[in-house]
Amino acid sequence: MLKRLDEFKIGETGLIKKVEGEGRLRRRLFDMGVTPGATVYLRKKAPLGDPYEITIRGYELTLRKSEACLVILEVEDK
Amino acid sequence: MKRFALAGNPNCGKTTLFNSLTGSTAHVGNWPGVTVERKEGTYKRLEEPVSIIDLPGIYSLSPYTNEEVISRNYILDEHPDVVINIVDATNLERNLYLTTQLLEINVPVIVALNMMDVLEKANASVDEKILEEKLGVPVVKVSALKEDNLDELMKKAYEVSKSPREGRTIISNKDLLHLIGDVSIAFKGKKVENPLFHSIKLVENDEVEVKDHSDLLEMVNEFKKTFKDDTFGEDFEALIADNRYHYIADNFANAVKKPEVEENEAKAVKMSKSDKIDKVLTHRVFGLLIFAAILFIVFHLTFSENLFFLGGLFSEVAPSFEGTIYEGLFWTDGGINSPGVILFNFFDMSFGAIIDAIRGALESAPAWLSGFLCDGVLTGLFAILGFLPQILVLFLFFAIMEDTGYMARVAFILDRMFRKFGLSGRAFIPMIMGFGCSVPAMINTRTLADDKERTATIRVIPFFSCGAKLPILTAIAGGIAMAFGFHHVDLITYSMYVVGVIVAIIAVLLMRNTTLKGDPAPFIMELPEYHWPQFKALMIHLWDKAKHFVKKAFTIILASTIVVWFLSSFGWNWHMVDSMSDSILGSLGQLIQPIFTPLGFGSQLGAFGWVFAVAAITGLIAKENVIATFFMLAAVFVSSSNPEIVEIVNSLIEAGEATEEGIDEAFIMIAGTGISWQGCISFIAFNMLTIPCFAACATAKAELPKGQFKWTLLFWLAASYIGSACIYSILSCFTRDTSRLAWAIPVTCGILLAAAAVVVFIVLRNKRNAKKEANA
């Protein structure tokens, strides 16, 4: 099942299929390791529900909901 | 001299390595983006000394923020002899992504596998032979912190620097390589250096590259049309990034060895440790409260004269040390002193004793000599040096927050709130650095990607009251406490800091809604792991701070106080004057005094009210000057034989509020000028908000986009004048003096109405604009 990162619940894991967006923002996401094929684990959300903290490629990355919605992932059906 | 450049991801230990190699004391911290300028040092343990260049951290060679441009340009344009690529061994995958790009440049590269000590602690190991073989460059395991193997690294780097290296790429997709090859022929034709690197970046659609070589872009796009990948289509950015990460995963998955059985266990322990801390500190509900509480405790431990508000409990049993040299050191009427205050008192008392001793020794010397030494030089100088311990205590707490990794978490917690004000959470870090010193804070705004956000942040950084403004806060707050019987110096100080932050928020809101409109920049940041603060790093940081502060005290501030002493002791006829009001400074001060009337420290004060105006103006050179001038003028004030002042001082001594030796200078000024406490607060606010010191202005001019500096100066002037006038007026509503109430209440109502009108205007306009956009 495909899902956007901003729809994830805390503790959910997925495999990146596609990264949308354009220009510098997208480039930055790639440089930080957010590329198709990487596994993402949603660790937590900040006190006000945004931004998110994810584990990707063995480190912790924080990004906003508005950036998270650009990332489309494959998650296992329950 | 050969030049070795240090390049690597942010927070991978470049600056720690730089400090270890060169013996420097550059600032290190546990968050990405500490280094934003290139720094140079010398390494001397080779056959010839070599120059080491510490570059800002980068995730890739496609720059995203301003400080990353510095690194890219240095590596490409300045031809270092070797690039030492520092790779965090605990996070190989992302770190090697940059390595794959560095290898494409025609420059000798050597990889330093850093943080080996952390890895070994976790019983893991890396096979550097596998890395060496695949990457084709030497790989050396080091620990920058423990200084392990650094000489070996430098020896190999020196070897490598002797022969040039041709750039090569790890991209293996045949069609892609073909395309890159064709583009690089075109680059070679143009005689561009590093054709391979530039052609890959151009195919990647890199922003800088597209701008620099727009003539080749058409050709590249022609080529691209003939090319189609099955999964990525024409998305070359994604394709190349994917190629790099695939290469790393395919080749180096086996390079890291973690003990099989313990792997899960070790991971679980590590995860839960950082997680447990995070669960509390970034808790959904308590995260923000904990942050506010931590800040309050920091200020409380630094400034409080009633530690943990236990004063009442111990007032009967605590030893007062009356009559001994310890009197007032640990204990005042209010309660137990905080560590910061104990240190301050200790310095203050020692300096007081020194001045008195000198004054005694000079009793028979001419009046001008004693006046010059004691009032002109020592009082001002000691006034500033006395605050050093308190500043260091405050900095120690901030350094701990930085070094543990908490600061980055605070940016994470606050992002949502900051976005409401039109900034990203990342802007929080330079702002809180502003509590230390505005200069590095303004430079650190380079980590912000958006220019408008940068400008807004630089403008409000001075409102985060810096270390040099701290004496103004504490001294005047102390004076208020004595003169008006309000014994919570820490509360006054803490609330003044809060006032600065509130004004900053209002200013950012206004700017981001009017002159600096724009959406907040994206917030994509690495969160470092928590670790215990490094004692050595903390001490280096404090030592640096102390050195800088003492140097400044003995140069700029000493010179300014001497000038101010001269101007306040001599009249226009170059003779010493009896009353300060007749001095050169006095007559000039009286000229500008009326300007400050709406702020509460202008014409309504007595004959000596102009000292406030003069003190504020000397602060433009360095903020320490405000209090240095203030104290020096107080000393001149007391030692002058003016009958009015003698009367005031005598009455204070009689009332038991002051002793002949230990007269509090701020208190004297408050009592002598008859300023109200509202005026004192307004004076602090004015100095906090006005044009910062000379050094900060120069930095702002350099960091701001062209043409913004003059508006920024105007902004600071307006903010301080209007801000403190509002504060004075609002506070004046809390007085029993009916003649002041008569104007204060209507003016305050006017201010509140005007503020409400501005808010309504902005909200309405935003709504209308949103509608317009929706319609469009």
How confident is residue B687, by pLDDT bands cut at 50, 70 and 90?
Answer: very high
Please answer whether residues B11 and B32 qualify as being in contact, where contact means their C-beta atoms are separated by less than 8 angstroms. yes
Is residue B263 pLDDT above 60, yes or no? no
Is residue B573 pLDDT above 50, yes or no? yes
Q: How far is A37 from chain B (nearest CA, A)?
A: 8
Please answer whether residues B279 and B271 qualify as being in contact, where contact means their C-beta atoms are separated by less than 8 angstroms. no
Using the Cβ of A48 and the Cβ atoms of chain B, whether some distance falls under 8 Å is answered with: yes
Q: Which of residues 109-148 of B touch A (CB under 8 A)?
A: none
Quick one: pLDDT at residue B700? 92
Is residue B306 pLDDT above 70, yes or no? no
Quick one: pLDDT at residue B261? 46
* pLDDT mean over B480-505: 83
Q: List the domain boundaries for chain B.
A: 3-161, 174-257
How confident is residue B311, by pLDDT bands cut at 50, 70 and 90?
Answer: low
Candidate CATH numbers 1.10.287, 1.10.10, 1.20.120, 3.40.50; the one for domain B174-257: 1.10.287
Quick one: pLDDT at residue B661? 40
* pLDDT mean over B139-165: 92
Mean pLDDT rounded to a whole number for chain B: 83
Quick one: pLDDT at residue B273? 73
Chain A residues lying within 8 Å of B237, measured CB to CB: 26-27, 30
Q: What is the dihedral of CA B21, B27, B31, B37, to 10 degrees?
A: -90
How confident is residue B503, by pLDDT bands cut at 50, 70 and 90?
Answer: very high
Closest Cβ opposite residue B524 in set A19, A32, A43: A32
Closest Cβ opposite residue B62 in set A27, A62, A64: A27
* pLDDT mean over B433-438: 84
B720-765 pLDDT, tens digit per residue, is: 999 999 999 998 888 877 778 888 888 888 888 998 888 888 888 8
Cβ of B91 within 8 Å of Cβ of A25? The answer is no
Using the Cβ of A53 and the Cβ atoms of chain B, whether some distance falls under 8 Å is answered with: yes
Q: What is the dihedral of CA B410, B411, B416, B417, to 10 degrees?
A: 70
* pLDDT mean over B194-221: 87
Using the Cβ of A29 and the Cβ atoms of chain B, whether some distance falls under 8 Å is answered with: yes
Bridge partner residues of A72 (DSSP): A4, A18
Using the Cβ of A66 and the Cβ atoms of chain B, whether some distance falls under 8 Å is answered with: yes
Q: How far is B232 from chain A (nearest CA, A)?
A: 9
Structure tokens at A41: 């684990």
Cα-Cα-Cα-Cα dihedral sign, residues B703, B708, B712, B713: positive
For the domain covering B3-161, report its CATH number: 3.40.50.300
B27-62 pLDDT, tens digit per residue, is: 777 777 777 788 899 999 888 999 999 999 999 998
Across B54-68, B191-205, B545-559, least confident range: B545-559
Cβ of B91 within 8 Å of Cβ of A58? The answer is yes
Is residue B664 pLDDT above 80, yes or no? no
Name residues whose C-beta falls within 8 Å of residue B32's C-beta, 6 or more positions apart in sequence: B9, B10, B11, B57, B408, B525, B526, B528
How confident is residue B660, by pLDDT bands cut at 50, 70 and 90?
Answer: very low
Q: List the domain boundaries for chain A.
A: 2-74
Chain A residues lying within 8 Å of B241, measured CB to CB: 30-31, 35
Q: How far is B167 from chain A (nearest CA, A)?
A: 20
Q: How far is B410 from chain A (nearest CA, A)?
A: 10
B664: DSSP letter:
-
Which residue type occupies B605? Answer: L
Please answer whether residues B670 and B697 qualify as being in contact, where contact means their C-beta atoms are separated by less than 8 angstroms. no
For chain A, the first-to-last Cα distance in angstroms comes to 10
Q: How far is A8 from chain B (nearest CA, A)?
A: 17
Cβ of A46 within 8 Å of Cβ of B415? The answer is yes
ipTM of the shown complex: 0.93
Is residue B456 pLDDT above 80, yes or no? yes
Is residue B486 pLDDT above 90, yes or no? no
Q: Is the domain defined by A2-74 classed in CATH 2.30.30.90? A: yes
- Closest chain B residue to A24, measured at CA: B64
Q: Which of residues 9-28 of A touch B (CB under 8 A)?
A: 19, 23-28
Chain B residues lying within 8 Å of A70, measured CB to CB: none
Quick one: pLDDT at residue B197? 93
Closest Cβ opposite residue B523 in set A19, A44, A63: A63
Cβ of A28 within 8 Å of Cβ of B285? The answer is no
Quick one: pLDDT at residue B611? 86
d(CA B499, CA B737): 25
Q: Which of residues 248-277 of B touch A (CB under 8 A)?
A: 275
Quick one: pLDDT at residue B172? 85
Pairing of strands B524-527, A59-63: antiparallel
Is residue B520 pLDDT above 80, yes or no? no
B699-716 pLDDT, tens digit per residue, is: 899 889 888 999 999 999
Q: How far is B528 from chain A (nearest CA, A)?
A: 7
Closest Cβ opposite residue B237 in set A26, A33, A66: A26
Q: Which of residues 404-443 of B touch A (CB under 8 A)?
A: 412-413, 415-417, 419, 425
Chain B residues lying within 8 Å of A27, measured CB to CB: 62, 64, 206-207, 237
HEC per residue, B303-352: HCCCHHHCHHHHCCCCCCCCCCCCCCCCECCCCECCHHHHHHHHHHHHHH
How confident is residue B154, by pLDDT bands cut at 50, 70 and 90?
Answer: very high
Q: How far is B93 from chain A (nearest CA, A)?
A: 6
How confident is residue B213, by pLDDT bands cut at 50, 70 and 90?
Answer: confident
B577-599 pLDDT, tens digit per residue, is: 777 777 888 888 888 888 998 89
Is residue B81 pLDDT above 90, yes or no? yes
